[in-house]
């Protein structure tokens, strides 16, 4: 077995990610947030695991965390004024709540769940089915003349209304049966239809 197939500790550490909720980009309430505030939300959300391990849970069973401005300044590579602005922005859209704990004690930060509407669900569901790779996989011209090499042809839902203009003379890898295969040719049984009493 080659050495390349094994996982290495440094690779696993490099493959850790912050989770950024899609709703922050689809819901109008959050669309105008700065990207810094969205990234800060992901950083704060990542702190939940640390809070649970440290039993930072209040009397109402809500998770809180302590994340000083200095820590945020360090992670975001920005100054104190910018961190204060980011926190206020998160508070304005009701994604963060700060509770003062007293003199010389850091605030308790409560991260709040974003609002998700039916529109957000619809947009996210449709985004998952879209191919966002930038390359077009299958295109059909308006004349339906597919004379080249075709990887995928018309779907089952297509009708045969333009059957006369179809020219599928190229090589086809995947095709669908578009037409009814019931053969209505009465002459195949040598029946003289003129003698039949209709």
pLDDT block averages, 10 residues each, the chain of length 198? 69 75 90 93 87 90 89 91 95 94 86 86 69 52 51 48 48 49 52 56
Tokens of 186: 């009465």
**Rounded distance between C-alpha atoms, residue 115 and residue 19, angstroms:** 17
- Rama region for 144: left / alpha / beta (φ>0; ψ in -120 to 50; rest): left
- Alpha helices, H only, the chain: 9-14, 23-26, 28-31, 35-46, 48-53, 69-76, 80-92, 118-129
Count CB atoms within 10 A of the CB of residue 184: 6
Q: Which of 86, 61, 53, 58 is nearest to 71 (CA)?
A: 86
What pLDDT sits at residue 159?
47
What pLDDT sits at residue 105?
82
What pLDDT sits at residue 48?
82
**3-class secondary structure per residue, 47-70:** CHHHHHHCCCECCCCCECECCCHH
What class, spelled out in words, does domain 16-111 have in CATH?
A: mainly alpha
What pLDDT sits at residue 163?
44
Does this model's pTM top 0.85? My answer is: no
Query: Residue 172: phi, psi to the nearest 5?
Result: -115, 125
All structural domains of the chain with their residue ranges: 16-111, 137-175
Long-range contacts (CB closer than 8 Å, 24 or more residues apart) made by 149-154: 154/178
Place of tokens 């090499």: 149
Is the Cβ–Cβ distance between 176 and 151 less than 8 Å? no
What pLDDT sits at residue 117?
83
Q: Which class for 56: exposed (0-12), middle (13-18), buried (19 or more C-beta within 10 A)? A: middle
Report the chain's terminal Cα–Cα distance, integer Å: 78
**Rounded distance between C-alpha atoms, residue 84 and residue 181, angstroms:** 70
Q: How far is CA 132 from CA 26, 72, 126, in A?
A: 16, 33, 11
């Amino acid at each position: 077995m080659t050495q390349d197939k094994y996982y290495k500790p440094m690779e696993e550490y490099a493959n850790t990610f912050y989770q950024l909720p899609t709703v922050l980009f689809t819901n109008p309430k959050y669309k105008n947030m700065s990207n810094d505030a969205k990234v800060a939300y992901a950083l704060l959300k990542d702190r939940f695991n640390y809070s649970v391990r440290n039993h930072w849970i209040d009397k109402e069973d809500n998770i809180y965390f302590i994340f000083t401005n200095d820590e945020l300044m360090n992670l975001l590579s920005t100054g104190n004024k910018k961190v204060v602005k980011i926190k206020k922005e998160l508070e304005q859209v009701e994604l963060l709540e700060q509770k003062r704990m007293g003199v010389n004690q850091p605030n308790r930060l409560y991260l709040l769940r974003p609002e998700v509407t039916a529109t957000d669900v619809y947009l996210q569901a449709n985004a998952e089915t879209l191919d966002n790779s930038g390359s077009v996989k299958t295109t059909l011209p308006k004349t339906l003349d597919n004379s080249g090499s075709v990887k995928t042809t018309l779907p089952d839902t297509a009708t045969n209304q333009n059957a006369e203009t179809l020219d599928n003379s190229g090589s086809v890898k995947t095709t669908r049966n578009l037409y009814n295969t019931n053969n209505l040719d009465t002459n195949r049984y040598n029946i003289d239809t003129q003698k039949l009493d209709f």
